[in-house]
Structure 1
């Protein structure tokens, strides 16, 4: 029996001698979120240890700074630096192993810059660039259309742009592991162009002195102006858009010199002014018969000063226009057997069919010189030859029953004489009677005193 027990004990000792302690091999990997090493940085760790049962993590500069979990999850770094990561693994057999790595945490990389214009934006325009980027140690500038066209300096100094238009400015920065870029643009104003237009006052568009002209400056990229008006008042001006009165006859030169501090350019134009004849000439005016007026196809009311024909819709829609009317033509129908000019203040009492005018004027007419039995007389030939108001000024316009009589279309051309409420005298030359049914009308020329 003792022998059997001894044999069993020896076998047990032999079996126990064959067991070995399990070794520990500490190992781990990590991954940075978005591969972004600029603070704040989040790192996740993956434990690849073999043979371990217990773990001790140490994260220098990390939050949290330690862990005993196999996989510690996400560790965050909030400050720049090079930090040690240490993992110690062990097991029940007493095996221990440690792995140490370093991680570099960078400042945040922010790309930003400011642009400053020197003097002005007229070509050639100079700009400086202030680099406000952080966390970078390399810089790459690109200046579209600039001189220089590129730079690797942190602050590249002055860049000159000569070509007008928009130019893109691009800055790319890096810290060795990451790159960021930002693009902005600058605008260089066009080259200097000197130009102007002019608009003559409505009452002076025959260019008979005195003539008032409003000048419209259309210059491009100019900052100051010098005008010279030959024969004008004022003679010179530095206004951008001056108004000038010309009181001398003949060809006169207007000169505009524009500058922007870098360039100066000049343009000239000529204007011709004429002697004041005190005669306004109005040609090819259409005046409709009463149905044409009422149908709003050809109006019967005419304003000398506005040089405008009004129809019924215009007068009723804007009653204040009535006070502009100087001449009213009444044509009974398209046969033109009965036609006459009527004073605006008589149309509601003179057996005509027009609407009443607001604040109507009084105009005297001689429709039929042949029936007038008065001293006023003007032939068609005299009308055509009239170059000033001398003949009109000499006329004495008297309304008589015969002179107010209607006329037909037998005699063409026909001259109708009138005197306006303000005393100006004029003549109407009826050149043609146009039969267009209810839209029929006459065509007239008018010569009238300006003052």
Structure 2
């Protein structure tokens, strides 16, 4: 009997020991914020790391969606700044349960921006103020390259002064404690003030004989006002940027330019020497080609005194033709027959007729002209003014129109233009260069008819 009772007790005990134990639930999860950007809108994905759970309930305060029963709820979006609680509750069939909650902070957007205001102008020293239009930040760091002060942690840094010309980089770096953004802006401080100028003299006055018209070209830097002072002219001052002045007095005349930009003032000066009016224009080393050189467009045979330029056949237009004063005709490279002829008389030459030509009187052969006019090479060289020409009578004669060869050198040719200006040509050389042969001459002629 006792043995039977022992066996029954053992079976009962064994049955109790075989009962299954309950599985515990241990809730855990983590998350990842897209681009690590906590500024709205914020997208968060949650990863369920729970062990032992079978059913789940997520609660997302402030999120969209705000609830989920999926093991992994996907992407939750937050559109409003704030601190929100995320909770995960989980159970299993054994009746076990657990939960976990965390908080997430959602920030306003972090936007970095600022405005730059120049206080007066950008001439050194240049002062600027800065308006901070950023949002979503709690700390600020300004860097002012070349500025005083060089840095600032204030939201509005106040006035900053830049003393060196050139480009200066301004950087604003902002942060909300988790995210940092920066923006830069470049300001340009104008170069230091410089007073400087140059001048050009009118084409007809380039011998600096009074009256002489001079154009002043202002090359000053960082200037806003100009104050000119002139000697030797009836216009003693000017506030124009690039004035034009006629000088009437002889000698060395001084010109001053004082410039300012409201912060600095600088002055520069130049001296210009003017001479008495000789009413004599001297043109040196002019080449006039024989007819083949002219027609081949290598050395022109036509010359304009007003333009002080020789022209080839290709360069002759109706406008140019009306300004020609001197025409040289050289028959060949041996210089056996040469003469100057009036622009309105092309007969006996190989040149085409000019349109609206001038009439110029020439004395090619002083020895044959049978006239009172005369001049030697030495007298030509000695001319310092037009006094010899004033009383000289230059008339066209058949003898004076006769051509010449190269046996006499130098040779003097006298002429009178359509405007009545009298002058002389000195043939210095006959240069043989095949079909491109030419004569080399100096010319002295009245500037104005008196």
1:426 maps onto 2:423 in alignment? yes
Partner in structure 2 of residue 147 of structure 1: 148
Q: Which of 374, 377, 380 matches 2:374?
A: 377
**Residue-by-residue CA offset, 1:228-283 (whole Å, 9 max, x unaligned):** 11122421100000000111111111110011111111111111111111111111
Alignment of 1:163-242 (within 5 A): 163-242=164-243
Who is 2:344 aligned against?
345
CA distance in 1, matches of 2:358, 2:78: 93
Provide, for residues 185-236 of structure 1, a one-character-per-residue CA deviation record: whole Å limited to 9, x for no partner. 1111111110000000000011111100010000001010100111224211
Aligned to 2:114: 113
Residue 83 of structure 2 contacts residue 105 of structure 2 at CA under 8 Å; is this kept in 1? yes
**Structure 1 range deviating more: 209-218 or 377-386:** 377-386
Match of 1:366 in 2: 363
SS class of match (2:43): strand
Check whether the contact 2:415–2:423 (CA below 8 A) recurs between aligned residues: yes
Query: How far off is 1:331 after superposition?
Result: 0.7
Separation in structure 1 between the aligned mates of residue 223 and residue 204 of structure 2, nearest angstrom: 32
Shift, 1:366, TM fit:
0.7
Unpaired segments ≥5 residues, structure 2: none
Task: Provide structure 1 residue ranges, at least 5 long, that are not aligned to the other structure.
Answer: none
- The CA distance in 1 between the partners of 2:107 and 2:309, in whole Å, is 80
Counterpart of 1:14 in 2: which secondary structure? helix
2:327 matched to 1:328? yes
Deviation at 1:22, TM superposition (A): 2.0
Task: Check if 1:64 corresponds to 2:65.
Answer: yes
Matches within 5 A, 1:266-277: 266-277=267-278
SS at match of 1:371: coil
Q: Residue in 2 aligned with 1:246?
A: 247
Question: 2:344 aligns to what SS in structure 1?
Answer: helix
**Distance apart, 1:93 and its partner CA:** 2.0
Q: Kindly state the Cα deviation for residue 27 of structure 1 after the two structures are TM-superposed.
A: 1.2
Q: How far does the alpha carbon of each residue in 1:45-77 deviate from its partner, in whole angstroms, 9 at most, with x for none?
A: 001111111111111111111111110100111
Shift of 1:140: 1.1
Q: Which residue of 1 aligns with 2:158?
A: 157
> 1:444 maps to what in 2?
441
* Alignment-derived partner of residue 407 in structure 1: 404
1:13 Cα deviation from its structure 2 partner: 8.8
Give the corresponding residue for 1:435. 432
- Measured after TM superposition, the shift of residue 17 of structure 1 is 5.8
Measure how far apart 1:19 and its partner are.
1.4
2:312 corresponds to 1:311 = yes
- Deviation for aligned residue 1:16: 8.4
Q: Distance in 2 between matches of 1:324 and 1:128?
A: 64
- Whether the 8 Å contact between 2:214 and 2:246 is mirrored in structure 1 is yes
**For each residue in 1:285-310, what CA deviation from the matched residue of structure 2 results, as whole angstroms up to 9, or x when unmatched?**
11111111111111111010100011
* CA–CA distance in structure 2, aligned partners of residues 384 and 331 of structure 1: 25
Structure-2 residue corresponding to 1:355: 352
Count of paired positions = 443
Aligned runs of 1:45-84 on 2, under 5 Å?
45-84=46-85
Q: CA–CA distance in 2 between the matches of 1:367 and 1:290?
A: 17
The corresponding residue for 1:132 is 133
Query: For the residues of structure 1 that align with 2:265 and 2:376, how far apart are their CA atoms?
Result: 58
1:313 match: secondary structure: helix
The answer on whether the counterparts of 2:318 and 2:356 sit within 8 Å (CA) in structure 1 is: no
Shift of 1:319: 3.8
Deviation at 1:392, TM superposition (A): 1.0
Task: Please show how residues 388-399 of structure 1 align to structure 2 within 5 Å.
Answer: 388-399=385-396
